[in-house]
Structure 1
Amino acid sequence: MARNLATPTEAELGGPRSVLVMQRRDHQRLDRLLQRVAATAGAERQETLTALCRLVFPHAFAEEAVLWPLLRRVLPDGHELTLRVEQEHQEINELFTELETTEPDTPAYEELLERITALLRADVRDEEDILLPRLQQVAGVGTLRRVGLAWMVVRRTAPTRPHPVVARRPPGNSLAALPLSPLDRSRDRLDQLSRRAPGRIARGCGRVSRALAATAGVVEHLPPLRRGEDPSTRA
């Protein structure tokens, strides 16, 4: 049995539809994006950070909604294992939220980026070296592929921006996805349009995007969206 996910072939991990293979692909793409963030500046770096967010947050949401509940059911120490990763996810959400309001290319901004990069890399190591190999030990190929399908569906419909207020566990995070996913994805389209449109249209897109952001900020504070979370996640 593989000790981590770094070296096994796709076949050894259950094939291309296995959740282990899907997770590793996302982690490989994450590594490439982090390298690009470190090597770029200005508008190119901002575009790379946008792509990073669109990868990180749906990926983490799918883990929290699909994978970690499964691990808590099938592993005697599943609660402790997943809690550590949920705490990392919470900190990543908080740091990205702070980054959004920090002036780019300042020492404070660079420090936040360094902390985010280190935390994302630590999160990958915890998952590939500990959690996912443990899942492979207790789940057959059929289960890995069924979970992979559920993970992929959730990932493709999940929120795409940081929401540090909502729960990192069901049912709160599942409830949060219903309003926050369309709000986030509408903002993504508006922001993309504003970068390409002439000035007046771009300003209009920006105003609508900010209004949607304010709506999301109100929604994520609704009490039901905090249900299910372990209190120590925010310690």
Structure 2
Amino acid sequence: MTDAITQLKDDHEKVEKLFKKYEDTTDRAIKTRRKLVDQIIEELSTHAAIEEQVFYPISRVLSDEAHDQTLEGLEEHHLVKITLAELETLDPTDERFHPKVTVLMENVRHHVEEEENDLFPMMRETFGRNDMSDLGAALDEARSTAPTRPHPASPDAPPANLVTGLVAGIIDRIRDSIPG
């Protein structure tokens, strides 16, 4: 079983690979850019949801420093979700599409750097291997029902996010299964 931090870092790496693929495209690769952005939207939406449902409630009570870092992370998630929601409906030929993706990548990279350099080490110092594995199992469970699309107006803290996340996840998966 993959521990929580390894799992979240794997998500970060997957998104970074998508970012690099996007950066390798040209303005003429409209369909490719749309496809990559749709994948980025799904990955980041799911990642943010499971982090908010499982990881952040624990990191938030760890220490004053972890509490502050978690609150900052929640605000960063909120801004990312707003950008993802805008990108979801924005045509890739729109002059704002590419700059919006660029800003998204900058914000996410900043968020990842802070999490991996500051918050994750605090969690590792506090919790043992078994606790991290249990937390990883909880992330796996949350991932199976997590939203696949951004919901910036939804709550980001338990218990409300657990209920709305489950409902949003079901609706998202239905929408994802409809062609076109």
Matched residue type, 1:124:
V
Residue 150 of structure 2: aligned partner: 162
* Aligned pairs for 1:106-117 within 5 A: 106-117=94-105
- Structure 1 position 117, deviation (Å): 0.7
Asked if the contact 1:71–1:135 (Cα under 8 Å) also holds between the matched residues in 2, the reply is: yes
Candidates 95, 101, 110, aligned match of 2:83: 95
Distance 1:17 1:114 in 2: 31
- Structure 1 position 134, deviation (Å): 0.7
Distance 1:96 1:56 in 2: 8
* Aligned pairs for 1:186-225 within 5 A: 186-190=174-178, 193-194=179-180
Deviates more, 1:180-189 or 1:37-46: 37-46
Deviates more, 1:144-153 or 1:169-178: 169-178
Candidates 38, 47, 51, aligned match of 2:35: 47
* 1:157 counterpart SS class: coil
Q: Is the aligned partner of 1:133 residue 2:118?
A: no
* 2:144 counterpart SS class: helix
Distance 1:46 1:104 in 2: 6
**Higher relative contact order at CA 8 Å, sep ≥6: structure 1 or structure 2?**
2
Residue 24 of structure 1: aligned partner: 9
Matched residue type, 1:166:
S
Q: TM-score, normalised by structure 2?
A: 0.92
Matched residue type, 1:26:
D
* 1:159 counterpart SS class: coil
Distance 2:2 2:123 in 1: 15
Distance 1:96 1:31 in 2: 16
Distance 1:151 1:129 in 2: 20
Q: TM-score, normalised by structure 1?
A: 0.72
Asked if the contact 1:62–1:154 (Cα under 8 Å) also holds between the matched residues in 2, the reply is: yes
Residue 57 of structure 1: aligned partner: 45
* 1:137 counterpart SS class: helix
Asked if the contact 1:58–1:156 (Cα under 8 Å) also holds between the matched residues in 2, the reply is: no
Distance 1:75 1:30 in 2: 29
- Structure 1, unaligned stretches of length 5 or more? 1-15, 195-235
* 1:31 counterpart SS class: helix
Residue 151 of structure 1: aligned partner: 139
**Computing the radius of gyration over CA atoms, which structure comes out larger, 1 or 2?**
1
Q: Is the aligned partner of 1:38 residue 2:23?
A: yes
- Structure 1 position 17, deviation (Å): 1.6
Asked if the contact 2:149–2:172 (Cα under 8 Å) also holds between the matched residues in 1, the reply is: yes
Cα-Cα RMSD:
1.4
Distance 1:44 1:82 in 2: 34
Residue 123 of structure 1: aligned partner: 111
Residue 167 of structure 2: aligned partner: 179
Distance 1:174 1:54 in 2: 18
* Aligned pairs for 1:63-74 within 5 A: 63-74=51-62
* 2:64 counterpart SS class: coil
- Structure 2, unaligned stretches of length 5 or more? none
Deviates more, 1:42-51 or 1:118-127: 42-51
